[in-house]
Structure 1
Amino acid sequence: MTERKEFRDLAEPEEAHAAIASLDLEPEPESVPLAEARGRVLAERVDAELDVPGFDRASMDGYAVRAKDTFGADEADPATLELVGEVHAGAEPDVTVEPGTCAEISTGAVMPPGADAVVIVERTEERGENEIEIRTAVAPGDSVMFAGADIAAGARALGPGTLLTPREIGLLSALGRDEVPVRGRPRVGIVSTGDELVRPGETLQSARGQIYDVNSYTIAAGVEEAGGEAVLYPHAGDDYDEMERLLLRASEECDLVLSSGSTSASAVDVIYRVIEDRGELLLHGVAVKPGKPMLVGRLDDSAYVGLPGYPVSALTIFRTFVAPAVRRAAGVPEPQTATVSGKMAVRERYGEGRMRLMPVGLLEDEAGETLVYPVDKGSGATTSLVEADGIVEVHPDTEYLGEGEAVDVMLFSPDVRPPSLLGVGEDDPLLNRLLDRLGAPRYLPVGSREGLRRLRDGVPDVAVVAGPDDRDVDSVDLGGWRREWGLVVPDGNPANIAGVSSLVDDDLRFVNRDSNSGLRASLGDQVADLADERGVSRRDLVSEIDGFDRSVKASESPARRVLAGDADAGVGLRTTADRLGLGFVSLGWQDVRVRANPERTGKPSVDAFRAVLDEADDRTDALSGYEMS
């Protein structure tokens, strides 16, 4: 029997930070072509080896003059100078400005010998073939950029640690630098583990419990954003020898090796054994939620950090503990916009005795203030990655965060912005098309019942509600539509399903929606009506339907079960059946309403949604079984 590794003496977060900081991730400096230097960090000081500009040049179109020849000149009493030639940008002057003379000059051109100022062309007038009237007095240096005015030879141009943006690239170009000494980007090898993982693009066998590998690409993007160079390695299963081979290969080629999965206290999780056998395990387990199963150690000459397997946990632990270390190694500063302040939109209880890294979403209220709400589908839910904008650190001694309490949010990315509109509620094909006409909305398809609950709590801007609705929730109706619903069946309806009675009386496999869905609520009402007709209880009829409690989350999911041959019927929409080439037994029409938070009716995005609803007739034409109401 394989020995089971237990979590003992969980490290505090400070210990995890210290352990990672003790690892050497910093690569050697390198020289890169200027064209590839944007976003890199200078490894050493760059001094100017020439004046910029390297000559006195005109900063305006006009005439190069000796300034003292213009003293006293004005509109009433202009000075007249002899024109002796012209100087163009990029050409060496072939004239000399003597007393009483001038030369026409273009912006950027070299000042000719003898001239010390430029009179702009608007303050001059031609008189005859070779005479120019000067209608203003100028001082030496007027409209002239002298050699070295940008930067003089020998001056300190840029210091070590400078992040090279387009501005610095421009200066280096002006200095004639075609190669730039920069800090090396730490190479970070990424190995995802677990027999259940399949890389995107490969065939997925859901029946075997397979899922697509999310972490490799998510963490790689985080590494690149932090200034590192991500290197993806082939997928490793839970076999010790294969895992050891991949980890050792990565340790030879990279400064840091990251793995995800195979770190928890399970008999099949072997990665900690690889680290103990071939390196040094500094800690196993951190007192944080999510992300307790975290490893830190050394593997040969490389640093190693083991991340949890669940995507949200992996990204949270990476963002909190690993990304700062990658930035330090690359010399990239912490982005100033990586943390935002806001107020809790709802009260959130906790009290588990360890630090909680709580995934949260952001939105703005009508006044433009940032509100923060918890996002918790469980650490195994991949969609939490796009629903959460960052994390809030909750101290172990905290029992709850109060509504309106100020919190700091560590963003998953400095590019994160609150959505223009936060909507919740029913999953609906027409709604998806309407949301496309809004700017950067976020919609959470949690179902009608849950959508109303969240609207009552005051978090979302709008809730989309379908089917029977008897909940008294304060809201403003923005508009809506009707959709035809019923039973999705195989093409041709081979079982001759006639309606709800067929589900009760015939030997059929049925797939329902979850209890939050408006479709399930409408179906439940029809089952109750049938029960009244037959003089039995609703519970009696439900017990006769094989699969009434076999529920799925999305509006298309029952239809896809029918399409796959796993069910004889599923609750769904006509438009879904038509699109998938399935049969359909109509059970009626269902109202769908968009209900707004009364505190957000003045928010621009809510007004925009109302306008979209008013002009939505063209969208129903593309979907069967829809009409505006």
Structure 2
Amino acid sequence: MLPVSEVEKIILDLVKPFAPEGDSEILPLLEVNNRILAEDITSEWDFPHWDNSAMDGYALRYADIADVIDWQNLKLAIAPYEITAGKAITQLLKQGECVRIFTGGMLPKGADTVIMQEDTERIDNFLQLKVKPTQGEYVRHRGEFVKAGTTLVRAGTKLGATEIGALASARCQQVKVYRQPKIAIISTGNELVSLDRSQFLQDGQIIDSNLYALATLITQAGAIAIPFGIVSDDQAELEITIKKAIASADIIISSGGASVGDYDYVDAILEKMGANIHVCSVAIKPGKPLTVASLTRSLNVNESEDVILYFGVPGNPVSAMMSFWRFIRGAIAKLNGANSNYWHPQFIKAITTEDLHAQGRRETYLWGQLTYHKGNPIFQPIKNYSSGNLISAIGTNALAVMRVNQTYVPVGDEVMIMIV
């Protein structure tokens, strides 16, 4: 068994990220949510485009009030116009004058400060200040957020609401993103029955839930799931299915058949096909029987070859998901051109609400729910840690990590948590 950290390194070293040119596509901005940007986006504009007000109030010239001591007698003439957001302003603010301005409104020439309306009193056409503002107060200056020519969003960034909104502000109607990896899913085992035939379920048979769980995880990771159906415990049939998957997928995931039972054929088939098997088992619980292999696929272009990664995950549903969370998700992120921040799981410290136990021989992951109390992370473990009990994993959003030789964490103590 290989340590978890070593397996993670082996997998990431095997992944060759997509190329920005050959593995990308240009899409409209509304279609790139959760996609990975394939090239830097440089702003052609200053943000803001012009000086504007960050508050409803009055724009003024600070020089008019800089040396004022007697506030009771200070009155500024209110200009006979007002400035709303979206209104182009060409007027010059005169000496001793102020102008009503609203949030987002463009500052007139000559104005350099805004005082909010609550700190003023209007008397006829004059404005009395209750406090003395600081110079430049409540003004968003041109180029304060980003200057023209500056990189706005970098390649490798996963695009979400904030990034897409910023790109829209920069007038990007379409952007180049990496294509979505295609992930083949093969379910193995005589005991499996597809969901559409569940009404014919016999004793000893189970629904192929791994297909649905893995397909959902793949979609959440920004890839495309390609189901190849259920394959019985037949070596020839499984070999045919793997060859079909190689022809159409970037990564292959098979569930079941990767252990050491009489009907576990995955490793034997991969060896027969000339695959390089890099991992056979991991010192992790659950998820110990994990096969990681690489195969080549001819691209028929100057006789070049493409490397396909193969993951044989356990058949137990929670174990299969654990393998994805800990190892496969990061491989998809790297393949998909995402920057290295997305390659590794996110870990934090949290207080456990129950005693945590492990045998200590393998790195153990205990599933449960992460919540926050007064800003402090709290981990609530579940009661029944059986890797075959998918029901117990409902609502899971975090895993408590018990290191090798760590057998006990008492209630109220901190424990390392992996976010899922």
Q: Could you state the TM-score of these two structures normalised by the residue count of structure 1?
A: 0.53
Say which of 378, 393, 401 aligns to 2:407.
401
Q: Kindly report which structure 2 residues correspond to 1:501-512, keeping only aligned pairs within 5 A, or say none.
A: none
- Counting matched residue pairs gives 393
Q: What is the aligned partner in structure 2 of residue 547 from structure 1? A: none
Quickly say closer, same or farther: Cα 1:73–1:387, change in 2 above 3 A.
closer
What amino acid maps onto 1:135 in structure 2?
Answer: L
Q: What is the aligned partner in structure 2 of residue 450 from structure 1? A: none
Q: What is the aligned partner in structure 2 of residue 319 from structure 1? A: 325
What amino acid maps onto 2:364 in structure 1?
Answer: L
Say which of 183, 189, 208 aligns to 2:184.
189
Say which of 355, 360, 381 aligns to 2:362.
355
What amino acid maps onto 1:230 in structure 2?
Answer: A
Quickly say closer, same or farther: Cα 1:121–1:341, change in 2 above 3 A.
closer
- SS, match of residue 190 in structure 1: strand
Alpha-carbon distance in structure 1 between the residues aligned to 2:155 and 2:287: 36
- SS, match of residue 202 in structure 1: helix
Alpha-carbon distance in structure 2 between the residues aligned to 1:120 and 1:283: 65
- SS, match of residue 81 in structure 2: strand
Deviations 1:58-96, CA, capped at 9 Å, x for gaps: 333344444334453855213352634333321222533
Q: What is the aligned partner in structure 2 of residue 81 from structure 1? A: 77
- SS, match of residue 79 in structure 2: strand
Quickly say closer, same or farther: Cα 1:58–1:374, change in 2 above 3 A.
closer
Q: Does 1:375 align with 2:384?
A: yes
| Shift in Å, 1:218 | 1.8
What amino acid maps onto 2:310 in structure 1?
Answer: Y
Alpha-carbon distance in structure 2 between the residues aligned to 1:14 and 1:337: 14
What amino acid maps onto 2:326 in structure 1?
Answer: T
Alpha-carbon distance in structure 1 between the residues aligned to 2:186 and 2:99: 69
Q: Kindly report which structure 2 residues correspond to 1:71-110, keeping only aligned pairs within 5 A, or say none.
A: 72=68, 75-81=71-77, 83-93=79-89, 95-110=91-106
Q: Is the 8 A contact 2:354 2:381 kept in 1?
A: yes
What amino acid maps onto 2:319 in structure 1?
Answer: S
Quickly say closer, same or farther: Cα 1:251–1:110, change in 2 above 3 A.
same
Q: Is the 8 A contact 1:70 1:134 kept in 2?
A: no
Alpha-carbon distance in structure 2 between the residues aligned to 1:358 and 1:282: 25
Deviations 1:349-401, CA, capped at 9 Å, x for gaps: x48xx63636455799xx99757677344x44443434986364553xx4x82
- Flag the structure with more relative contact order, 1 or 2, with Cα contacts below 8 A and sequence separation at least 6: 2
Name which one, 1 or 2, has greater alpha-carbon Rg: 1
Quickly say closer, same or farther: Cα 1:368–1:89, change in 2 above 3 A.
closer
Q: What is the aligned partner in structure 1 of residue 14 from structure 2? A: 23
Q: Kindly report which structure 2 residues correspond to 1:577-596, keeping only aligned pairs within 5 A, or say none.
A: none
Quickly say closer, same or farther: Cα 1:64–1:345, change in 2 above 3 A.
closer
Q: Is the 8 A contact 1:342 1:370 kept in 2?
A: yes
Which runs of no fewer than 5 residues in structure 1 stay unpaired?
Answer: 1-9, 415-629
Alpha-carbon distance in structure 2 between the residues aligned to 1:315 and 1:170: 33
Say which of 122, 126, 138 aligns to 1:125.
122
Alpha-carbon distance in structure 2 between the residues aligned to 1:319 and 1:327: 12
| Shift in Å, 1:256 | 1.0
Quickly say closer, same or farther: Cα 1:217–1:407, change in 2 above 3 A.
farther
Q: What is the aligned partner in structure 1 of residue 304 from structure 2? A: none
Alpha-carbon distance in structure 2 between the residues aligned to 1:401 and 1:124: 69
Q: Kindly report which structure 2 residues correspond to 1:78-477, keeping only aligned pairs within 5 A, or say none.
A: 78-81=74-77, 83-93=79-89, 95-122=91-118, 123-127=120-124, 131-135=125-129, 141-182=136-177, 184-207=179-202, 209-283=204-278, 285-286=280-281, 288=283, 289-299=285-295, 300=297, 301-330=307-336, 331=338, 332=342, 334-337=344-347, 340=350, 342=352, 345=355, 350=359, 355=362, 357=364, 359=366, 375-377=384-386, 379-386=387-394, 390=399, 392-393=401-402, 395=404, 398=405, 401-402=407-408, 404=410, 408=415, 410-411=417-418, 413-414=419-420
| Shift in Å, 1:184 | 4.9
- SS, match of residue 126 in structure 2: strand
Alpha-carbon distance in structure 2 between the residues aligned to 1:256 and 1:78: 73
Q: Could you state the TM-score of these two structures normalised by the residue count of structure 2?
A: 0.76
What amino acid maps onto 1:200 in structure 2?
Answer: L
Q: Is the 8 A contact 1:189 1:257 kept in 2?
A: yes
Q: What is the aligned partner in structure 1 of residue 47 from structure 2? A: 52
Which runs of no fewer than 5 residues in structure 2 stay unpaired?
Answer: 298-306
| Shift in Å, 1:259 | 0.4
Q: What is the aligned partner in structure 2 of residue 422 from structure 1? A: none
What amino acid maps onto 2:122 in structure 1?
Answer: E
Deviations 1:544-601, CA, capped at 9 Å, x for gaps: xxxxxxxxxxxxxxxxxxxxxxxxxxxxxxxxxxxxxxxxxxxxxxxxxxxxxxxxxx
Q: Is the 8 A contact 1:84 1:101 kept in 2?
A: no
Q: Kindly report which structure 2 residues correspond to 1:474-493, keeping only aligned pairs within 5 A, or say none.
A: none
| Shift in Å, 1:304 | 0.5
Q: Is the 8 A contact 1:28 1:184 kept in 2?
A: no
Give the % identical residues.
28
Deviations 1:100-152, CA, capped at 9 Å, x for gaps: 5444333322223343344544524243xxx4244366665344322112222
Q: Is the 8 A contact 2:7 2:282 kept in 1?
A: no
Alpha-carbon distance in structure 1 between the residues aligned to 2:186 and 2:345: 27
